[in-house]
A and B are shown apart, each in its own frame.
Chain A
Amino acid sequence: MQPGDSVVIERVVLDALLAALRERGYETVGPTVREGAIVYDEIRATSDLPAGWTDEQEGGHYRLRRDDREALFGYAVGPHSWRRYLEPPSLVRWRGRRVDGGFEDDLTPGPPPRYAFVGVRPCELAALLVKDRILLGDPGADPDYRSRRESAFLVAVNCGSPAGTCFCVSMGTGPRFGPGFDLGLTELVDDARHDFVLQVGTARGAAVVEGLPHRPAEPADLTAAEAVLREAEGRMGRSLETEGLKERLERSYENPHWDEVAKRCLSCGNCTMVCPTCFCSTVEDSTDLPGTRAERRRIWDSCFSIEFSYVHGGSVRTSAGARYRQWITHKLATWHDQFGVSGCVGCGRCITWCPVGIDITAEARAIGGPAEAAGSRP
């Protein structure tokens, strides 16, 4: 068994896979149903997975629906992303205690958590690679991210159930996964079968599979997997014309459409908080009442808060239009200059989880898109 090999495992073997990962010291994290959505949390067995659930997604709208195929991965991404685990929303970076004449460090960092992410979608895998450029790059590498990221085991799952807000095909990030996974699954489920084509991505992935019951993938299995993906490609709810988009946005800093978006934008920050590539954080220092202990925390921040652009004398971006412009032009234009890649992977979360359903694909068309495509939907 080596990277590049494909085998077939039966549905029941997925429990053995989870057990094997846990035996190796990983905390297995994956999709599960909670509060009316598919979120990420610890999963101990396939019974924790959202079997038979799918989702209905539109701008500002998400609902779970039953799906009698009983697929384990028959849905698109929910409100959580792996960012929650790799860059925790609130992280103590330093803690100190006052001693005579000074202070001493009072934070003993434990070993980094070892996560196995089960059910990483192709768009999310792409997002992790974008994040790696930002947080593992030089300068500015984040040691906490590095330790979590390097120990994480990735079980990717090809996407057979894109949602109404998905556009990974436009962004070139799905529905089939690219490189970066340890193991990659394609779920094959119909009246006759329920099993998985399993692609081996790394040597440590191969070592896990060797201990599991499996059979070689036949051409018919690979054809069936290909058919799932071909069909998913045709069911993207959204599309985004990326050709020349960066340049068009860069010419649109004074576009009156920003004011139009501002009428709808709540500046609530939801789009940035659900985005798998957003990485902004702020640092908060606090002290206890007697002034004997101090703590520095890094917490998720958003370019939609006024404080975010506070510089000497005030905030640079006080209007909602300016903040929306900053966000979308960073994602789709200046991100390329900064990190050599788009900041958008087409997962559609910002569209679904915007309480008023502002649609990045529609706004990009309205602001920087070719006139003939304005307002059109796929």
Chain B
Amino acid sequence: MAPRRPKLAVFKFASCDGCQLTLLNCEDELLAIAGEVEIANFLEASRAVVKGPYDLALVEGSITTPEDAERIHKVRRMSRTLVTIGACATAGGIQGLRNFKDVHEFVSSVYATPEYISTLEASTPIAQHVRVDFELRGCPISRAQLLEVLGAFLRGRRPNIPTYSLCFECKRQGTVCVMVAHGTPCLGPVTQAGCGALCPSYHRGCYGCFGPMESPNTASLGARWEAMGAARPDLVRAFRTYNAAAIPFRAASEAYEQQEP
């Protein structure tokens, strides 16, 4: 008898679905994935749900509601290995911008009947609620990195997902540094590699979609941005995007916000 295929489940919390869509976008590899795992619970692909427990859970999205703060514990209990995918799940996502403001003000100005809305003060990453076995960064995640994590899981090996800076990727590709050669502010030196240095290869500065690298020196990079003409509010905005609530980026944006321009 063939060995039982591991059961894969995909769970969604507060997110745009782009990261789980990356799984569907695997196109060429999708049949291979379906051959190696039993896609047991993946609502974006099929309404048919095989009940847990699951061998591997891919969790997308952040925790923003009291219901989700409960639900993530259920997901954890029915998952042997839990991998969070994307900036929402690993750092709180773009909705982590609420963490810097009063969410009730948003609710009362956006919704006709604010009392129907039950939401938390802050958007938080999954790892703040339950034990996470591996975090895959990105907004959205990289298809190649997702396949690497799946391949590593299936073979029981450690995935090759580096945590060093984006600059490693630019230099290996031979992409000319946009900061040094063009004077374009770039978050690459403080951002984790993984996207293939997409923006610099199109002559744009890195936006930090993959979140802080392993030892981000945001103060030194920020000082350089200022020397290149960036104002403090520019720095606050740069650190406040998809990974705004990641601790090093959060600390940087708050520091620049507090300083006089």
Could you list which residues of chain A lie within 8 angstroms of chain B, going by C-beta atoms? 34-37, 39, 60-63, 79-80, 84, 89-90, 263-270, 273-274, 284-291, 299-300, 302, 304-307, 318, 320, 352-353, 355-357
Contact status A270-B162, CB under 8 Å? no
List, in ascending order, chain B residues with CB within 8 A of A284's CB: 160
Contact status B219-A286, CB under 8 Å? no
Contact status B219-A289, CB under 8 Å? no
Within 8 A of A (CB), among B172-221: 172-177, 179-182, 186, 188-190, 203, 213-215, 217, 219-221
Contact status A355-B224, CB under 8 Å? yes
A119 to B14 alpha-carbon distance, docked (Å):
55
A355 to B219 alpha-carbon distance, docked (Å):
13
Question: Who on chain B is nearest to A352 by CB?
Answer: B180
| 12 pairs, A vs B, C-beta closer than 8 Å | A37-B176, A60-B224, A90-B172, A267-B213, A267-B217, A270-B167, A270-B189, A291-B36, A291-B154, A305-B168, A353-B177, A355-B224
Which residue of A80, A264, A289, A320 is within 8 Å of B154 (Cβ)? Answer: A289
- Given contacts A268-B167, A307-B162, whether A289 and B172 have CB atoms under 8 Å apart is no
Interface residues of B toward A: which range? 35 or more
Contact status A79-B177, CB under 8 Å? yes
Contact status B36-A289, CB under 8 Å? yes
Contact status B32-A288, CB under 8 Å? yes
Interface centre among B179, B215, B224 (most CB of A within 10 A): B215
- For the complex of A and B, list the 6 residue pairs with the smallest distance between their C-beta atoms, beginning with the closest: A273-B171, A89-B172, A35-B176, A268-B189, A305-B164, A266-B189
A61 to B181 alpha-carbon distance, docked (Å):
6
List, in ascending order, chain A residues with CB within 8 A of B189's CB: 266, 268, 270, 355
Contact status B32-A35, CB under 8 Å? no
From residue B214, how far is it (CB to closest CB) to chain A in Å?
5
From residue B16, how far is it (CB to closest CB) to chain A in Å?
26
Contact status A353-B172, CB under 8 Å? no
Contact status B154-A266, CB under 8 Å? no
Contact status B160-A286, CB under 8 Å? yes
Which residue of B155, B165, B174 is within 8 Å of A268 (Cβ)? Answer: B165
The reply on B132 being an interface residue by CB < 8 A is no
Contact status A273-B167, CB under 8 Å? yes
From residue A296, how far is it (CB to closest CB) to chain B in Å?
11
List, in ascending order, chain B residues with CB within 8 A of A36's CB: 176, 181-182
From residue A319, how far is it (CB to closest CB) to chain B in Å?
8
A118 to B11 alpha-carbon distance, docked (Å):
55
- Given contacts A35-B181, A267-B165, whether A89 and B173 have CB atoms under 8 Å apart is yes
Question: Who on chain A is nearest to B26 by CB?
Answer: A289
Contact status A269-B171, CB under 8 Å? yes
List, in ascending order, chain A residues with CB within 8 A of B126's CB: none
From residue B217, how far is it (CB to closest CB) to chain A in Å?
5
The reply on B163 being an interface residue by CB < 8 A is yes
Question: Who on chain B is nearest to A264 by CB?
Answer: B220
Contact status A265-B177, CB under 8 Å? no
List, in ascending order, chain B residues with CB within 8 A of A357's CB: 224
Interface centre among A39, A79, A268, A353 (most CB of B within 10 A): A268
The reply on B33 being an interface residue by CB < 8 A is yes
Question: Who on chain B is nearest to A266 by CB?
Answer: B189
A285 to B154 alpha-carbon distance, docked (Å):
14
A287 to B177 alpha-carbon distance, docked (Å):
32
Question: Who on chain A is nearest to B32 by CB?
Answer: A289
Contact status B181-A63, CB under 8 Å? yes
Interface centre among A35, A90, A304 (most CB of B within 10 A): A35
Question: Who on chain A is nearest to B155 by CB?
Answer: A287
Q: Mark B126-151, 1 if CB is under 8 A from A, else 0.
A: 00000000000000000000011011
Interface centre among B180, B182, B188 (most CB of A within 10 A): B180
Contact status B150-A289, CB under 8 Å? yes
The reply on B35 being an interface residue by CB < 8 A is yes
From residue A312, how far is it (CB to closest CB) to chain B in Å?
15
Which residue of B152, B181, B213, B224 is within 8 Å of A37 (Cβ)? Answer: B181
List, in ascending order, chain B residues with CB within 8 A of A356's CB: 220-221, 223-224
List, in ascending order, chain A residues with CB within 8 A of B176's CB: 34-37, 39, 79
Question: Who on chain B is nearest to A55 by CB?
Answer: B181
List, in ascending order, chain A residues with CB within 8 A of B33's CB: 289
Contact status A269-B172, CB under 8 Å? no
